[in-house]
Chain A
């Protein structure tokens, strides 16, 4: 049973960055903006989080810096797509390319250095409980933040007035504008929130998952997070299911590699990417469900008439 617990623990660790980045992007898309720069913001979060914790010796400062860096790095995207009304797909791609380049440049100073790990929490007695102790009371702090984040986003979107405003902007920006809602301002805030989440997700990679810096260490997780939003049909709690499913696939293929079943390791490594495609096919094939849940203004440009 102890083995079972450790496997569940590693799955949670693999799922957490996907969950955080996807929930952030979910809020962005609910406001009607498609930001394909998740991968770029995430990798910036990873490198800044790592760099700041190395310099200060405090992983917590690293986490904070990664969140701020992610939010700031989303601003060029927000300025271009919201103020200058550029094509969201192309601008998001630009953000990803810029993020991968810039993180490589910053990270060059830290390649090969052993990092600082954000320690797991430990509550005397509770963490030491058999079977579930470590799973419930002994994980890394960002894991708990991820679940609180999902609950908070779900509550915000569906139980608060501000959340209703954000969704109305995403569903019909023309009507929202006519009602006096500051469409562009709402979207700026949503994009920055998404950036902050991607930054936090990146910090989890470089401070918990593998505490070191490797170039392109996000390895497509930002893109998988984008797919998870579609998978979850823009509903926060469904993202949890999707993220843990992917965590399980990732960990499963790692165990299969360790066992040496004679299956090429490259094939196993490509499973999370292929699983993403399969999941997208299964979800998107159901056209009516996708149509019903997709924010109606997603990706469409908005210019206020005067």
Chain B
């Protein structure tokens, strides 16, 4: 039998170690999966987790994949710490992409230095407004925010599909379901075009992580968020406005997801399509937990999860392995992360039989 004994105080050692143990366990499980599918586990792991890091251009690709994951996860960490379960970031990502795309799609002639900043701000607003819906429903009608935020993802995916096939379809696009390509003034620039494609999205992500770290550690707002999450009762006595906190959590995480959305569309893609995300909004949930809801940890975690996307592509090309493996790895990683977090608060004891009674 496994028994848990609560630690008198949480273990700082395991707090730091648990993400690494989790990643190690994922690698071991991954090796077993590779062996089962008839591959040499070491070669496969190398292709998956090391090869993408060995060349400069692929480091740029890593940054492109990591940027949306970090941006979204940093926002989600704020929501989760205040006990607001926003799992609809995928929808808020699309909402930001759509509203932010209004200038380049509807007013393509408007090409100024202001175009891009306006798009980014619209992206933030779009994500925040769409995130406000589950918050409003939770505050006003007491609905479960997990279910409503997720249902809105499906609705928003269908809305994007309609927009790019209907009103916003490129008039000169041979009936392809996509909008017109954005003009150069609406494209998020690359940081170092000489060596690869990475754009300013990764810079936004790191700035956001640092700002959120500061907010959580050094401001009253951050303190309120943590009190609200740790003990809603204490928060009420401290005079923290709970409904306001719900709105803040959802609109803040929604805004960052929206910024990620418009950055992806104006950076990596350059137009709107029926599908603009390989599930970034959901993978970011894993990133948030792997980073232990700490913004700086999330930067590292975002890079790790981005690597699973790249590794998946590399393994598909050079080993003929399914790109679906990446999703399996991501799911396993989250399991191991959550399991290892138990070590922080509990000592695990093994006994032959459970003690009967007290």
Contacts and interface: CB of A to CB of B under 8 A. Distances in A.
A276 B335 contact: no
Contact of A93 (B87, B155, B326): B87
A91 B338 contact: yes
Contacts of B346: 84-85, 303
A86 B348 CA distance: 13
A94 B283 CA distance: 10
A247 B349 CA distance: 48
Given A89-B85, A220-B154, A270-B154, A80 B338 contact: yes
Given A274-B151, A303-B6, A97 B334 contact: yes
B341 A86 contact: yes
B338 A87 contact: yes
Interface string A249-278: 000000000000000101101100110110
A300 to B, nearest CB: 13
B331 A223 contact: no
Interface residues of B, number: 49
B16 interface: no
A86 B339 contact: yes
Contacts of A36: 146
B219 interface: no
A284 interface: yes
B155 A85 contact: no
B332 interface: yes
A90 B158 contact: no
A277 B335 contact: no
B141 interface: yes
Interface stretch (B55-63, B110-118, B159-167, B194-202): B159-167
A280 B142 CA distance: 9
A93 B141 contact: no
A267 B358 CA distance: 59
B143 interface: yes
Interface string B289-327: 100000000000000000000000000000000101111
A100 B335 contact: no
Contact of B355 (A87, A97, A284, A306): A306
B342 A227 contact: no
B342 A285 contact: no
Contact of B331 (A102, A108, A270, A306): A102
Given A85-B342, A277-B152, A98 B332 contact: yes
24 contacts: A36-B146, A84-B4, A84-B338, A85-B346, A86-B339, A90-B338, A97-B330, A97-B331, A99-B331, A101-B328, A101-B329, A108-B324, A264-B166, A266-B161, A266-B162, A267-B158, A267-B162, A270-B159, A277-B137, A280-B137, A280-B147, A280-B148, A303-B4, A305-B358
Interface of A: 36, 76, 80, 83-87, 89-91, 93-95, 97-102, 104-105, 108, 180, 219-220, 223, 226-227, 230, 264, 266-267, 269-270, 273-274, 276-277, 280-281, 284-285, 287, 290, 303, 305-306
